[in-house]
Amino acid sequence: MNYLELINKCLVELNYKQVNNFEELVKNDHKKIKNIINIINSEVCRSDKWNFLLRKMTLTLPKNTGEIENTVPGRLATVLVNGVKYEFFEDFEKFLMNTQPPCTYSVFGDKLLFPVFSENKTIEVVYYTKNNAADTNSNEKTSLESADDSSLIPDPFAEPLLVYGTCLRLKANPQHVKFSYWLSMYNDALANLRSRNFVSMDVTPTVKLFRY
């Protein structure tokens, strides 16, 4: 479902008149709806480690240097150096002194820090993209902008999450006649998305109870 279709779904839920094209979205509530859809879209994408946001890229660490520019467009998930997994180590000062634990990396400003090697190393990075949307050519972007743009949230869940979430945020009144319905539909969609975020049957959501 594209951006314009999502907006029109919101207009229907709010008992407003639908539009035929993007250029008709000039009223204040239109602008609010457009903005809130992007806010909800970003919030949902940032709220969990979603499989649909995982991406992969390869970097090169030159020999005799322990740092490279961090060009990863998102949150780091897995880092491999020549096929060996490296763990994140928060104390970047240890890397500056080359006293860090083995098989670790860190971050300092816009740099990725690694041990110093005597030969070039291939860095494979799996990350969660910072992008939330894509155009019709599948070029990813940070927000929905054009009528044909679509959310990176999978189609079965994007509509209820973005439409009902937007209506909730726009009205923000628990006394509204549809508020409870919107909230229920939004929560159901989010729960269903989480339950279907696992590609293996061996990994399922669990609830852990602790006794204090």
Convert the pLDDT of each residue in 29-52 to its tens digit.
999 999 999 999 999 999 999 999
Q: Is the pLDDT of residue 212 over 90?
A: no
Q: Is the pLDDT of residue 104 over 80?
A: yes
- Residue 22 and residue 77: Cα distance in Å, rounded? 37
**Residue 201 banded pLDDT, cuts 50, 70, 90:** very low
Q: Which of 59, 51, 37, 212 is nearest to 122 (CA)?
A: 59
Range from 11-15, 96-100, 145-149, 203-207 carrying the lowest mean pLDDT: 203-207
Q: Is the pLDDT of residue 158 over 70?
A: yes
Burial (CB count <10 Å: 0-12, 13-18, 19+), residue 52: middle
Round to the nearest angstrom and report the end-to-end CA distance of the chain. 46
Backbone angles phi, psi at 56, to 5 degrees: -135, 140
Residue with tokens 């339950």: 195
Task: Report pLDDT for 210.
Answer: 39
Give one DSSP letter per residue of 66-120, joined into a string. SEEE---SEEEEEEEETTEEEEE-S-THHHHTT-PPTTEEEEETTEEE----SS-
Q: What is the pTM of this model?
A: 0.86
**Residue 199 banded pLDDT, cuts 50, 70, 90:** low
